[in-house]
A = this chain, B = another copy of it.
Amino acid sequence: MLELPHMSYFSILKKDQHTKARTGIIHTAHGDVKTPLFNPIGTKGAVKSIAAEEMRFWGAEMLLANTYHLWMRPGDALIAKAGGLHKFMNWKGAIFTDSGGFQAFSLSKMVKISDQGVSFRSEIDGTMHNLTPEVSMQIQLNLGSDIAVVLDDFPGYPATDKQVAASISRTFDWAKRSKLEHDRIVARTVNPGQKLWGITQGSTFPEMRAESARLTRTLDFVGYAIGGEAVGEPEEEMYKAVDATIPHLEEDKPKHLLGVGTPEQIVQAVARGVDSFDCVIPTREARHGKLYVNLKPGDPLGVGYTTVNITNESTREDFSPVDNTCNCYCCLNFTRSYIRHLFMSGEPLGIRLATMHNLRFYLNLMDRIRTAIDAENFKELSDTYRHRKGLPE
């Protein structure tokens, strides 16, 4: 019998000589995605005011959708009936779903966490729900995402070492249960090609970060998400936690840093070996009129980017584009003065154009990162971004 050549799930294309950064490709059931990768957030099955096709056109290859929100409304059963979330929202790329745990914990009322799972009261209709590792798998498989993650136990922030130890132990237990359930039913779902990733915890304790990574690794997931970050801890703590986690996971597997971050945080995390990100920053800040602007090489500010608050009086008669280095639809067609007018008048087109621009900024940043790694000058890019925030060397 002819043996088919082994097709690995994650291909590393190039490793940086000075940092742990690398470029690669994750081969998902809905196409290849290039890493380092940014996942725009489509919380409820839509990126705020943006059509799926537009995202695709700008170079987005994977979106993150929130399991909790879609479970509550319209319900995962309806989405399965529609043929899965890809078909429901007509998104031709890949989809990453979270476990639903973090939102159940933070958005609902009367939350109880036990070894069994998370029970809570819905914010929408007051009904009671139980989110167990098994239920999270069932929902994510009904959504049919390409990357699902295990249900994990987030210890809160700040947390004591005892709380963190308990969180690690429960997260490990839930990871085993998640994996068993996923293996049991994945073949009979709308996306049999869905892959399950593990999650590591450990809060700000480097030893516990390492321990969580070592435990999770024993379950041999195809990829890992690093959880419990960007929850209010100082930025240095986040980098320390990433540094304590990554060496204990297989180098040839992709790693996602949940909920991160600013452009400079993304660059610094890539330097530490992270391959994938998701964050509400570009879309949320767009809604508040905060727009990202690239600085040209040699700009006296000496940094990679700045931001402009489009509602400032100073943009009233500014007939230049938001970012004259940007080729997005907003920057090619409209002036700061016009975007400001749309915001001041409450015209929804303003938020749409701002969202478009900020997402394009993030997607372009990832492209710059990948290009820099490939051209062997990623260190210069990361030094620029470190400089801006006075980050530790």
Which residues from chain A sit less than 8 Å from chain B, CB to CB?
Answer: 44-53, 69, 73-74, 78, 81-82, 88-90, 316-317, 319, 329, 333-335, 337-338, 340-342, 344-345, 347-353
Contacts and interface: CB of A to CB of B under 8 A. Distances in A.
A345 B123 CA distance: 13
Of listed A44, A90, A338, residue having the most chain B CB within 10 A: A338
Given A49-B349, A348-B348, A82 B335 contact: yes
A233 to B, nearest CB: 31
Contacts of A347: 44-46, 48
Given A49-B49, A82-B335, A88-B338, 16 more contacts: A45-B338, A46-B342, A46-B345, A46-B349, A46-B350, A49-B348, A50-B349, A51-B352, A52-B333, A73-B341, A73-B345, A74-B340, A82-B319, A88-B341, A89-B338, A90-B334
Nearest to A335: B82
B78 A316 contact: yes
A100 B203 CA distance: 61
Contacts of A340: 74
Contacts of A44: 341-342, 345, 347
A388 to B, nearest CB: 32
Nearest to A88: B338
Contacts of A352: 49, 51, 348, 352
A158 to B, nearest CB: 33
A74 to B, nearest CB: 5
Contacts of A333: 51-53, 90
6 nearest A-B pairs in the assembled complex, by CB-CB distance: A49-B348, A46-B349, A44-B345, A74-B341, A46-B347, A90-B333
A355 to B, nearest CB: 9
Contacts of A342: 44-46
A345 B348 CA distance: 17
A81 B337 CA distance: 11
A160 to B, nearest CB: 38
A74 B340 CA distance: 9
